[in-house]
Amino acid sequence: MSAAVMDYDEALAAFDPVMGLEVHVELSTASKMFCGCSTAFGAPPNTQTCPVCLGLPGALPVVNRTAVESAIRIGLALNCSIAEWCRFARKNYFYPDMPKNYQISQYDEPIAFDGWVEVDVDGEPFRIEIERAHMEEDTGKSLHVGGSTGRIHGASHSLLDYNRSGVPLIEIVTKPITGAGARAPEVARAYVAHLRDLLRALGVSDVRMEQGSLRCDANVSLRPDPAAPLGTRTETKNVNSLRSVERALRYEITRQAALLREGTPVTQETRHWHEDTGTTTAGRSKETAEDYRYFPEPDLVPVAPSREWVEELRATLPEQPHLRRKRLLAEWGYTELEMRDVVSSGALELIEQTVAAGCAPQAARKWWVGELARRANETGSELDALPISPAQVAQLQQLVEAGTINDKLARQVIEGVLAGEGEPAEVVESRGLAVVSDDDALGAAVDAAIAANPDVAEKIRGGKVQAAGALIGAVMKQMRGQADAARVRELILARLG
Amino acid sequence: MALTPEDVAKLAALARIDLTGEELQHLAPQLEGILEAVASVQQVADADIPPTSHALPLTNVFRPDEVRPSLPREDVLAGAPAAEEDRFRVPRILGEEA
Ligand SMILES: [Zn+2]
């Protein structure tokens, strides 16, 4: 059943949306939160587990120091206060993704709280208040068998892989985001992108949404106007790309608006986002915090970060993203508009790494924001998920500058790299894409072009040098774009000058 | 605070314990007795006595972020009620639509 939705502009004319975003970040520590099992992604199922992360009787957790440091650094980067003393708590629930039947989390004593970030929404700053950032452990991964699409619905049974169970997780929760109006979905997207950049700069996570190391749950409710009390909210899960954050919120706003318009109350529930249909469907009704029967984790002693430790960690924070953007803009000589395009297409980090690999800033921008952004868009993937690295883009540009290929051939090289055909130089070799600057081969083509266009040749002999363009075009066509244009020009003028 | 059989039924459902009506009637007064015992301790606890969650006066017990060997998969799956494709096999998860 597909629910009725209201036109977006109409919905926003009638209602004021209020959002809340919960972002889960998997930390890139070597070992898990409470045991020494590896956190490496993609290992064969159930090869990274032990008594602690399987919840076997008698096993005792011990906190990973690096994970606590990362949590504090994240808190500081979000302008949060850091707790002087806090505890872990057990969140009790029965679900096969957690073999202990509880998740070790934090409840009313998060390690970081009361922060804020300022995100860039189409060139304008928007401030988002952070409620808290707390430490917890990730759950195992379930695979539902027998259903049509791997979903629970219609499944006959489920298969569990506990490699991910116990991977350190930080949950970052915003305060209600008000005042975004019609831009709410864009604000949410900008916020998640901002967190992604910030966390990557901190070096605490891989922040790969497609691999699930950055996940977003989006709450939204509608009220008739900004003075009205908050409406009933829904929580949309399974929102695993920046694009989906925006789309899911847009959809949910139009769905709730249609319900409210016809006088049907919104049900407080968890909903699942479906990328394929662009809709959300109802999940299990939300447990209340009481149902989780939180209590202080008896197996772990409190965490009490000394102020000295916190200050030491503060000193390791990278430059704030907005200051960094300002600095790079000056260093790279981009215009404000160019920089905005770079940031909004998620290319800042990629360009920085490409420049670090020896590429000129303008060339790096041209490839990432041009050809590569176009291809990412075509396949609906994020720019950084494309199977081409900044080093490979730098190599590509070197090939262009060395005259081995021209821009047009470079696009074919990109196609080859994305198709997994190897490094740029290998693609040039295997696809035979190198520009021909060999005088014998070019000379033959030039002679043929002159013979085929006697009137043009005559003009050049008569001193109209600019007519050479037509002959260069003819040579290019004959050599399928692979001729060295500058050399062709020299050869033409040498023959006719 | 009076515990009703309905309260006990809710707790039982959260703990996935299947209790008959008779058992609920039987357990409600027992749990009530436990709550009373806790309440009498609470009377002694003044505002100047901080709530204690841990018996040890310790904080910041950490381990370095080092990988240690995990269990062999055969051993891990030997403890599973059923296994399939190197994973734990569990019944269909009820009460959720996705
Ligand atoms: Zn483990």
Please, what's the largest Cα pairwise distance for chain B? 57
- The reply to whether A3 falls in a domain is no
Please, what's the largest Cα pairwise distance for chain A? 96
Q: Is the domain of A270 the same as that of A376?
A: no
- The reply to whether A34 falls in a domain is yes
| pLDDT tens-place string over residues B77-98 | 998 989 999 999 998 775 544 3
Chain B contact for A153 (CB, 8 A cutoff): yes
SS3 at position A289:
helix
Greater pLDDT, A391 or A494: A391
Name the residue of chain B whose CA is nearest to A85's CA.
B59
State the Cα–Cα distance between residues A440 and A53, nearest whole angstrom: 69
Q: Is the domain of A98 the same as that of A200?
A: yes
Q: Is the domain of A237 the same as that of A197?
A: yes
Of the residues A380, A396, A431, which one is the last residue of a structural domain? A431
Q: Which region among A247-261, A311-325, B74-88 has the lowest average model confidence (pLDDT)?
A: A311-325
| pLDDT tens-place string over residues A95-141 | 889 999 999 999 999 999 999 999 988 878 899 999 999 999 999 99
Q: How many Å lie between the centroid of ligand 1 and the Cα of residue A100?
A: 12
Nearest to A177 by CA among A166, A189, A161, A165: A189
Residue A403 confidence (pLDDT) above 90: no
Domain that holds residue A445: 439-496
Q: From its phi and psi, is residue A150 left (phi > 0), alpha (psi between -120 and 50) or beta?
A: left
Cα–Cα separations (whole angstroms), residue A253 to A84, A175, A189: 39, 19, 15
Chain B residues touching residue A70 (CB < 8 angstroms): none
Vertex A241: Cα angle to A210 and A9 (nearest 5): 165
Chain B contact for A437 (CB, 8 A cutoff): no
What pLDDT score does A464 carry? 86
- The reply to whether A1 falls in a domain is no
Q: Is the domain of A172 the same as that of A74?
A: yes
- The reply to whether A239 falls in a domain is yes
Q: What contacts A416, CB < 8 A, 6 or more positions away?
A: A422, A424, A427, A430, A431
In Å, how far is B86's CA from the nearest CA of chain A?
Answer: 6
Q: Is the domain of A303 the same as that of A342?
A: no
Q: CA A41, A47, A52, A54 torsion: positive or negative?
A: positive
Residue of B16, B58, B88 lying closest to A301 (CB–CB): B58
SS3 at position A366:
helix
Half-sphere exposure of A416 (CA within 13 A, CB side): 21
Q: From its phi and psi, is residue B43 left (phi > 0), alpha (psi between -120 and 50) or beta?
A: alpha
Cα–Cα separations (whole angstroms), residue A173 to A79, A298, A459: 13, 25, 72
Q: Is the domain of A299 the same as that of A323?
A: no
Q: What six digits make up the tokens of A434?
A: 């190198």
Of the residues A291, A313, A335, which one is the last residue of a structural domain? A313
Q: CA B79, B17, B53, A295 torsion: positive or negative?
A: positive
Chain A residues touching residue B31 (CB < 8 angstroms): none
Greater pLDDT, A443 or A332: A332
What pLDDT score does A2 carry? 45
What pLDDT score does A151 carry? 59
Asked if the Cβ–Cβ distance from B76 to A49 is below 8 Å, we say yes
Nearest to A162 by CA among A256, A278, A39: A39
Q: Which residue is it, tokens 């606590």?
A: A68
Asked if the Cβ–Cβ distance from B54 to A298 is below 8 Å, we say yes
| pLDDT tens-place string over residues A146-200 | 765 555 566 788 999 999 999 999 999 999 999 999 999 999 999 999 999 899 8
* B1: confidence class by pLDDT, cuts 50, 70, 90: low
**Interface-testing mutation among A29, A38, A97, A158, with chain B (most B C-beta atoms within 10 A):** A158
User: Which amino acid is it at A5?
Assistant: V
Residue B24 confidence (pLDDT) above 50: yes
Instruction: Give me the residues of B, 19-38, that contact A with CB < 8 A.
Output: none
* CATH number where A468 lies: 1.10.10
- The reply to whether A421 falls in a domain is yes
ipTM comes to 0.88
Residue of A37, A62, A159 lying closest to B63 (CB–CB): A62
- The reply to whether A2 falls in a domain is no
Q: Which residues surround ligand 1, an ion (CB under 5 A)?
A: A 35, 37, 50, 52-53
Q: Is the domain of A146 the same as that of A244?
A: yes
**How crowded is residue A127: how many other Cβ atoms within 10 Å of its Cβ?**
10
- The reply to whether A82 falls in a domain is yes
Nearest to B66 by CA among A303, A50, A66, A168: A66
Chain A contact for B54 (CB, 8 A cutoff): yes
- The reply to whether A466 falls in a domain is yes
Q: Is the domain of A402 the same as that of A477?
A: no
What pLDDT score does A46 carry? 97
Q: Which residue is it, tokens 């609470």?
A: B42
Domain count, chain A: 3
Average pLDDT, chain A: 91
Determine how β-strand B62-63 pairs with β-strand A63-64. Answer: parallel
- Cβ(A52)–Cβ(A60) under 8 Å? yes
Chain B contact for A156 (CB, 8 A cutoff): yes
Chain A contact for B78 (CB, 8 A cutoff): no
Find the mean pLDDT for residues B44-65.
Answer: 88
SS3 at position B32:
helix
Q: Is the domain of A164 the same as that of A243?
A: yes
Asked if the Cβ–Cβ distance from A50 to B93 is below 8 Å, we say no
Q: Is the domain of A266 the same as that of A215?
A: yes
Q: Is the domain of A388 the same as that of A293?
A: no
Determine how β-strand A89-92 pairs with β-strand A81-82. Answer: unpaired
Polymer length of chain B: 98
Of the residues A382, A402, A431, which one is the last residue of a structural domain? A431
Q: Which residues of B44-68 are buried (b: 16+ CB within 10 A; e: fewer)?
A: eeeeeeeeeeeeeeeeeeebebebe
Q: Is the domain of A110 the same as that of A168?
A: yes
Q: From its phi and psi, is residue A176 left (phi > 0), alpha (psi between -120 and 50) or beta?
A: beta
Instruction: Give me the residues of A, 302-341, that contact B with CB < 8 A.
Output: 302-305
Four-point Cα dihedral A51, A52, A53, A54, nearest 10: 40
Q: Which of A40-49, A273-282, A457-466 has the highest mean pLDDT?
A: A40-49
| pLDDT tens-place string over residues A16-62 | 999 999 999 999 999 999 999 999 998 999 999 999 999 999 999 99
Q: Model's pTM, two decimal places? A: 0.77
Asked if the Cβ–Cβ distance from B59 to A301 is below 8 Å, we say yes
Residue of B66, B88, B98 lying closest to A151 (CB–CB): B98
Find the mean pLDDT for residues A251-264.
Answer: 95
